[in-house]
Amino acid sequence: MSKTLQIQVDPFLCASQERTISGALHYPDLMIIQHDIDPSSGPIEANLTFSKQGKFVVLTGRISANLVLQCAACLESIDFIVDINVKLAVFDDESMLSVLPDDYEPCVFEGDRLMINEVVESEVLLVLPDIPRHEVCPSALPTSSTDKDFTLEPEQKKNPFEALESLKKH
């Protein structure tokens, strides 16, 4: 059993201890991205280590998951693999934004605690497509519209041979 990531930590204390947090978030645990992914998605696994980089607390490691999204065009599922190389500078003072170490993304928190699950979900949210779509949908679609509210009745499609038939009759 993997540990949950639903924990609050003191980033400064964790950094001084060089603490590593590893665990998983399952679909029912999700608070931010639950509506963006399918319930059949696999758990989001993370292995993150706090340390210090100059005066910054940094959080580095990996977040990975095999998620399932719904295609906006055909409504079938899309396998979406998440593999994020995490390099976050963690701070509670926005004035530090201007002196962020190179290659690190900012992770600002309020109060004195950092919610690990929020950090993990926010990172995954950044890589999710705004509108999930297959590159090529598995089933053929009407080319006239990709809007899911648009339905084309197959009976309304004109059969070109029918048109030819009616021409011949004249």
Find how far residue 26's CA is from the centre of its chain. Answer: 14
Strand 77-91 with 105-108, pairing: parallel
Q: Is position 128 an interface residue for Zn ion (rule: CB under 5 A)?
A: no
Residue 76 neighbours by CB distance under 10 Å: 11
Q: Which candidate, 24, 97, 17, places its Cα nearest to that of 67?
A: 24
Output the smallest distance, CB 41 to Zn ion, in A: 17
10 to each of 4, 23, 90, 113, 150, how far by Cα in Å? Answer: 17, 17, 11, 5, 50
Residue 11 neighbours by CB distance under 10 Å: 22
Q: Is position 71 an interface residue for Zn ion (rule: CB under 5 A)?
A: yes
Q: Which is nearer to Zn ion, 141 or 163 (CB)?
A: 141
Segment contacting Zn ion (CB under 5 A): 2-10, 84-92, 115-123, 132-140? Answer: 132-140
Q: Is position 19 an interface residue for Zn ion (rule: CB under 5 A)?
A: no
Q: Is position 73 an interface residue for Zn ion (rule: CB under 5 A)?
A: yes
Q: Is position 68 an interface residue for Zn ion (rule: CB under 5 A)?
A: no
Find how far residue 118's CA is from the centre of its chain. Answer: 12
Q: Is position 72 an interface residue for Zn ion (rule: CB under 5 A)?
A: no
Binding pattern to Zn ion, positions 133-152, x when CB under 5 A?
-x--x---------------
Q: Which is nearer to Zn ion, 143 or 159 (CB)?
A: 143
Q: Which is nearer to Zn ion, 74 or 84 (CB)?
A: 74
Q: Which residues bind Zn ion (CB under 5 A)?
A: 71, 73-74, 134, 137
